Structure 1
């Protein structure tokens, strides 16, 4: 009995905080999604499924969601680079701690500072990147990095990759250091080369960590917000860089349509759950008992 009381004493506060700051807001979000509410009035008019129908019937939201998909696919590049640098910097490389610190440092830099830094770097006329390309004779490669609808979302996605690659690399390094060296030594004695050791020892040992990386990539892609919002706080021209989250924010606070914004939030939550479960089954779940 005493043990039960102690356990509940430790659990009650976290459970209470979880209920107040997670489950109650989620329940309120679902409730508001079935209403027409401006966020100020005390009157909330019930509209049934109208808000959800508006989302599915307007092709604008599908186009916005396609912007999130760009972040998702660019995220695979981030995972690949993180794995590549993690494997290299886990070896007996001279100065590896310095390189680790350099690659991890973007993660601790404020996202607003990073956004402004890249805004100056990628400026169409005086940005350092286009100036360098012009000086070395590659002027044909210079682009309107932050104003061309065809590439702006790729630019923002690679900004996110630059910031978060070091964080993911550190996670993978931690997993690599947990693999016993005896296994590699035994494989070397049996004649395995470096690629074979990576394929048959390293990758299987990183299975769970890679699952986490894929989850972080998916979650980050669906919730992409910081860089599009900081660079275009009032919304990008023609919505060319809007993501589902930034559009939800504009719908609620600019257009005062909290019912529609809540419906978008609920749909994003459902989509996230479905895609996480699908990704888990596709990559890791088919052979689990």
Structure 2
């Protein structure tokens, strides 16, 4: 009997190892090995083509922090940072609204989630035509008699990053919406019924039932949103190519690596971005734990 049990345990371990080896191997091959290589390249002066790599020490990191051209582009991320909270607020509003009885609720859920299913390149081209002169937005403003509000939406430095931040809101709101909706629907309906019997209105139900119940999901979405705002790439790259003051840190990193052939410097920029994202995530997790303990 003991032999059979040992044999069963051995077979179980073997099956677990075999099934785990492929995903773990792929994770190591495509995530951790490139990360280690990137760290190595960040200390070198390499153009990405020549087999020769010159060791530079910390020079690449010092260059990033001392050259405004490389680090000042982070200010563009602030537009996406503030847009993240608008995006989360709108997603939470619609998720709360569609939790209760609403006509055609499934249709509205599909409409709100649909943009997230679209490819980032497709969205970039859609809004490129939406914002262009004489395009959809200008036509709507003209129809409403607001011709004086028409701008160069992607050409005016005072508004182009705001325009693309709203594009980002439209694209990612569906993702946050569906996560919030799933979390809210996991709350027992009996709690809502008891609250209604006690005379609680919708706002009170949201404040005292929904929000406390999904606060972990709210903070998770905040972490994902803030991390994403620091690494925006596809929307500004497709719509403007990073020109006219719309270049993000990731676009600057890609240009440094593949346009100017400074792969060592670009690797250092990528490492700095990774560290910043990890620090922001750590701070948010610390604040979350502080709230829980309070």
Q: Taking structure 1 as the reference length, what is the TM-score of the superposition?
A: 0.93
Q: Does 1:138 align with 2:146?
A: yes
SS in 2 for 1:286: helix
Partner of 1:7: 16
* Aligned partner of 2:235 among 223, 227, 246: 227
* Aligned partner of 1:93 among 86, 94, 102: 102
* Aligned partner of 1:276 among 278, 281, 284: 281
Deviations 1:48-78 (A, max 9, x none): 1010001100122332101112101111000
* Aligned partner of 1:18 among 20, 24, 27: 27
Q: Does 1:267 align with 2:272?
A: yes
Deviations 1:184-237 (A, max 9, x none): 11222233222111111100111121122112211221110111111234x413
> 1:134 offset after TM fit, Å?
3.0
SS in 2 for 1:224: coil
* Aligned partner of 2:60 among 37, 45, 51: 51
Cα distance in 1, alignment partners of residues 139 and 19 from structure 2: 59
Provide the aligned length of Structure 1 versus Structure 2: 284
* Aligned partner of 1:213 among 216, 221, 224: 221
Partner of 1:37: 46
Aligned-residue Cα RMSD (Å) equals 1.5
Range that drifts further, 28-37 or 189-198? 189-198
* Aligned partner of 1:147 among 138, 146, 155: 155
* Aligned partner of 1:69 among 78, 94, 97: 78
Partner of 1:197: 205
Structure 2: gaps (5+ residues):
1-8
SS in 1 for 2:34: helix
Range that drifts further, 173-182 or 113-122? 113-122
Cα distance in 2, alignment partners of residues 181 and 252 from structure 1: 54
Structure 1: gaps (5+ residues):
none
* Aligned partner of 2:168 among 153, 160, 184: 160
Q: Does 1:81 align with 2:112?
A: no
